[in-house]
Amino acid sequence: MKENVYDKLEERLGYTFKDKELLKHALIHRSYGNEHWEYKKINNERLELLGDAVLDLVVTEYLYKNFTKSSEGDLAKLKSMVVSEPVLAKISRELGIGKYLLLSKGEELTGGRDRSSILGDVFEAVLGAIYLDSGSDFLVAKAYGTKLLEYQINHIEENEELIDFKTILQEHSQKSHKVTPVYEVVKETGPDHRKNFEIVVSINDEAVGRGNGRNKKSAEQSAAKDACKKLGVKAFEAL
């Protein structure tokens, strides 16, 4: 990779590496070694492991200091959502990291540059590389990670695909009404290969939400989401 390509990527990342090899290392997917023998045992997985540990501490410390009213349980749920594949992959896409990945031709042809699992991993690898490049200065890695993750943390409820509305509704129902919500299929439409289920969820025999989905599980999530919104039940009280 040419120097000017590094410059463009560093500009997108908002960080200038003293050791450019660390950045390159963070971008090497394990498939690259299948076609480049010199990289057979060189990939970003070790940096990913390091970055994962750094990210875990960055996010946990931020949540501990900024969500002082949240319980340990809520903090744990929030952390698992923030460091999840969809969130990290979203950040990688916003930074345009996929364009710079070193992949095998096969991996690239099958959409590897935009695969969430790869993009989530490479974000952790880049964070690990920044940590090492800074001389293992956690404050540098924390400042960088916080800058990119702060918005995601404070708007986590907008990532509805990450939220288990059924569990949230059940916890609310058991706490407030001492009963478990009941889900009922009220309509099935479409052919077998494209079924649509309409489900109503009730608490104490009162309908509180309605949802649709291609299967019962997704329809129940949709109904629980509708119920949470109507009842004013938040995923996390501190948000």
- The secondary structure element, H or E, covering residue 140 is helix 138-154
107, 124, 220, 226: the active-site residue: 124
Span 195-220, average pLDDT: 95
Of the CATH numbers 1.10.1520.10, 2.60.120.560, 3.30.70.2190, 3.40.630.10, which one belongs to the domain with range 3-161?
A: 1.10.1520.10
Taking CA atoms, 143 is separated from 9, 131, 133, 134, 233, in Å, by: 19, 11, 14, 12, 33
In sign, the C-alpha dihedral spanning 217, 219, 222, 227 is negative
Determine the 3-state secondary structure of 223 from DSSP: helix
Of 191, 71, 47, 216, the C-alpha closest to 131 is 47
Question: What are the structural domain ranges in the chain?
Answer: 3-161, 163-231
Q: Which amino acid is at 96?
A: G
pLDDT digits (tens, 9 = 90+) for 63-104: 999 999 888 988 998 899 899 999 999 999 999 999 999 999
pLDDT in the model for residue 35:
84
Rounded CA-CA distance 197/58 in Å is 41
What's the CATH class of domain 163-231? Answer: alpha beta
| Strand order across the beta sheet in which 206-213 lies | 182-189, 196-203, 206-213
Q: Is residue 56 annotated as a catalytic residue, yes or no?
A: no
Active site residue 52: yes
Whether 157 has a binding-site annotation, put simply, is: no
48 is in an annotated binding site: yes
For 41, the token pair is: 């045992």
